[in-house]
Chains A and B, each alone.
Chain A
């Protein structure tokens, strides 16, 4: 189908979709007045029942914990697929790491960038750990904290060279952390099955509201999710960086190939 045909077909189907969308949006409650919702029940129950002050974390890890497990596995599968897709091809080999596309002059990284990145690595990783640990008290949790941790690792690359990143965070260790995070979530859920009768039931001391070691197994779940998301993003960055910086492509020596 030619491009023009495709565009005309899109306009027709977009018109139909617009009618459906407008009809659907017309039936939504007015913005700001949603009426009675399940969320209002959870807002009232979360603190007395689970001792969690951040209700969004309570929904993610206790009331709807299975959805988070599924999302985590989507993430795991996507990271695995990216690492597989960007694996070195048959006609690529690893050169020394040079931060340049072939034939283009790249200026040296300025000292200001290096100093600033180096100074920010520690606070960023500390901030990421803080967000992961306080997920059940204030806005935060494993997902956001994991990405902040991965940003801290990226700052290591900005402050130095790719070899520093690869030396400090070798792929086997990072993959092990990601696998550990994913399986820890499942193991905690299975312990909940053994103790409470349902998968991901809350076990452990509920503690006092507002303390760091409250809310049973939710801080453990936050840590496992944070580890997996952080390690997964580092693997993603690593795969892309390796393709860009290290691997150089050479056309195959003989097309018809002497075996």
Chain B
């Protein structure tokens, strides 16, 4: 189970990086970046998991063993803010398309004309 949980996080990281490096479309590149971000969420939440424990919400059962809430708090804000940064990158892609007319990362060489 350890191998599966951490392995999925590592797999998502490398698959996303591969997608970014060999992408031919800027929008495809931004979406692969979102996959890399998801790898960090899986890793963070997997670190805090405690087998047989419940969620850290004590509305009913006070005193039961619960999973780690600190990493969940990190993940929670990260998910929302990460999507906003992805929106910022998409706005950049839209402007690049308006200025140069193409979405190919390889054609963005001479930006200083």
Contacts and interface: CB of A to CB of B under 8 A. Distances in A.
Direct contact of A and B (CB under 8 A): yes
Interface size class of A (residues with CB under 8 A): 35 or more
A243 B76 contact: no
Interface in B84-104: 84-85, 87-88, 91-92, 94-95, 98
Given A32-B51, A54-B57, A82 B88 contact: yes
Contacts of A85: 88, 91-92, 94-95
Given A56-B73, A78-B88, A7 B21 contact: yes
B77 A143 contact: yes
Contact of B80 (A28, A42, A89, A147): A147
Contacts of B41: none
Contacts of A42: 69-70
B76 A31 contact: no
Given A31-B5, A34-B50, A85-B92, A56 B80 contact: no
Interface string A64-94: 1001100100110011011001100100000
A139 interface: yes
B82 to A, nearest CB: 10
Contact of B50 (A32, A89, A146, A233): A32
Nearest to B14: A14
B34 interface: no
A210 B62 CA distance: 12
Contact of A55 (B22, B66, B80, B91): B66
Given A31-B5, A56-B73, A81-B88, A37 B22 contact: no
Nearest to A143: B80
A131 interface: no
Contacts of A37: 48, 68, 70
B49 A74 contact: no
Given A31-B46, A86-B94, A55 B81 contact: no
B27 interface: no
Nearest to B79: A143
B62 A47 contact: yes
Contacts of B49: 31-32, 34
Contacts of B1: 31-32
Nearest to A71: B77
Interface of B: 1-2, 4-6, 10, 13-14, 17-18, 21-22, 46-52, 55-59, 62, 66-74, 76-81, 84-85, 87-88, 91-92, 94-95, 98, 106
13 contacts: A32-B52, A43-B56, A43-B66, A46-B58, A54-B56, A60-B73, A75-B81, A75-B84, A78-B81, A78-B84, A82-B87, A86-B94, A137-B59
Given A38-B70, A78-B81, 16 more contacts: A3-B22, A31-B5, A31-B49, A37-B70, A39-B48, A55-B56, A56-B57, A71-B81, A74-B81, A74-B84, A75-B81, A75-B84, A141-B76, A143-B77, A147-B80, A236-B84
